Amino acid sequence: MRAGAQAVPTAPTGKETLVWSDEFNGNVRRGQPDPAKWTYDTGSSGWGNKELETYCAWGSNASPCTAEQPSAYLLGDGYLHIVARKMGDGVYSSARLKTQSLHGFLYGRIEARIRIPVGQGIWPAFWMLGDSIAAVGWPACGELDIMENIGKTPSTVYGSIHAPGGDLTKSLTLPDSQTLGEAFHVYGMIWSPGRVQFYFDNPSNVYARYTPADLPKGAIWPFDTGKFFILLNVAVGGNWPGNPDSSTKFPQEMLVDYVRVYAEGQDSPKAAAEHSSVREILH
């Protein structure tokens, strides 16, 4: 599929099994994302990037969060809504959902269908971190950035890996002045031993490939050593996107149609279940 073509949901091949997903269905207005699948990062530490937002958990009334205006919710329309709001001068709320301590994955095809927000200083992402982060920290745990976008490059999706001693990024830019926020797109990763590939809209449209040989000499490839958990978030400001300016409108909203994880070569429901087994992180 050419860059910029309309995204449609992809289906598993004959060699794939759907082992985990969230379709964000439900009829409850302002409903809670499934607590059996998602938990939250919270706070306003800057997250190592000098970000401006405070991440809010479901039901939090810790300022600037408010339970009456959740930053992540279901609306009965089949989407997860992640909303970044301006709550005051230089004060922003948003959400960062994660499957940490609930579900972890090693290898397979992992994708989400998303309509991203737009605007200077807005930084949506769909990504993964190693389950080992609590024990070894970052970047030793490894990071897989399946989709990142920043408001000043509205037509470009970035796919990156972060490893001890090496950071690699490649990108795909839509043609003809199209922007990613105009429509839903599928952002995905094909992950196998010693190889990570990122694709856009269709698994056949791979725009980035990484192997251990691509890392600088002495860097460590951490992507074959354990399970990773999924994150979805909208950041505001930071070293890379820069801060919002007078052109940035709020609220900003990311819509997620689904997140799906497929395993290769799973021949039975039991094998599929074992592939997607839950791994608890002990703090």
Do 215 and 168 form a contact (C-beta atoms < 8 A)? yes
- The two tokens of residue 157 are 């999706």
Q: If phi over 0 gives left and psi between -120 and 50 gives alpha, with beta otherwise, what is residue 142?
A: left
Q: pLDDT digits over 71-130, tens only? A: 999 999 999 999 999 999 999 999 999 999 999 999 999 999 999 999 999 999 999 999
Q: Determine, yes or no, domain membership for 10.
A: no
Which of 12-26, 56-70, 121-135, 142-156 has the least mean pLDDT? 12-26
| Annotated catalytic residue 53 | no
Q: Determine, yes or no, domain membership for 175.
A: yes
Whether the pLDDT of residue 270 is over 80: the answer is: no
Supply the range of the domain harboring residue 115.
16-275
Q: Determine, yes or no, domain membership for 101.
A: yes
Q: Determine, yes or no, domain membership for 192.
A: yes
* Residues 254-270, mean pLDDT to the nearest whole number: 79
Which of 51, 53, 111, 143 does the annotation list as catalytic?
143
* CA-to-CA separations, 192 to 98, 197, 277, in angstroms, rounded: 22, 9, 17
Which of 16, 68, 148, 182 does the annotation list as catalytic?
148
Q: Determine, yes or no, domain membership for 282.
A: no
Average pLDDT, the chain: 90
What per-residue confidence (pLDDT) applies to 26? 74
What per-residue confidence (pLDDT) applies to 8? 54
What per-residue confidence (pLDDT) applies to 13? 61
| Secondary structure (DSSP) of 26-85 | ---TTBPP-TTT-EEE-B-S-TTTT--EEE--TT--STT--TTS-SEEE-SSS-EEEEEE
CATH code: domain of residue 179: 2.60.120.200
| Secondary structure (DSSP) of 180-201 | GGGS-EEEEEEEETTEEEEEES
What's the number of domains the chain is made of? 1
- pLDDT category, 4, cuts 50, 70, 90? very low
Q: Determine, yes or no, domain membership for 2.
A: no
Which of 132-146, 165-179, 257-271 has the least mean pLDDT? 257-271
Q: Determine, yes or no, domain membership for 159.
A: yes
The Cα 236–Cα 46 span in angstroms is 10
The Cα 28–Cα 267 span in angstroms is 36
Whether the pLDDT of residue 266 is over 90: the answer is: no
Whether the pLDDT of residue 227 is over 50: the answer is: yes
Among residues of the chain, what percentage have pLDDT more than 70?
88
The Cα 230–Cα 14 span in angstroms is 25
What per-residue confidence (pLDDT) applies to 29? 72
What per-residue confidence (pLDDT) applies to 275? 41
* Residues 196-205, mean pLDDT to the nearest whole number: 98
Could you give the dihedral angle defined by the CA atoms of residues 131, 9, 149 and 152, in that order, rounded to the nearest 10 degrees? -170
More confident residue, 279 or 227: 227
The Cα 51–Cα 196 span in angstroms is 28
Q: Determine, yes or no, domain membership for 36.
A: yes
The Cα 143–Cα 78 span in angstroms is 28
| Annotated catalytic residue 143 | yes
**Which of 41, 13, 215, 210 shows the shortest CA–CA distance to 111?**
13
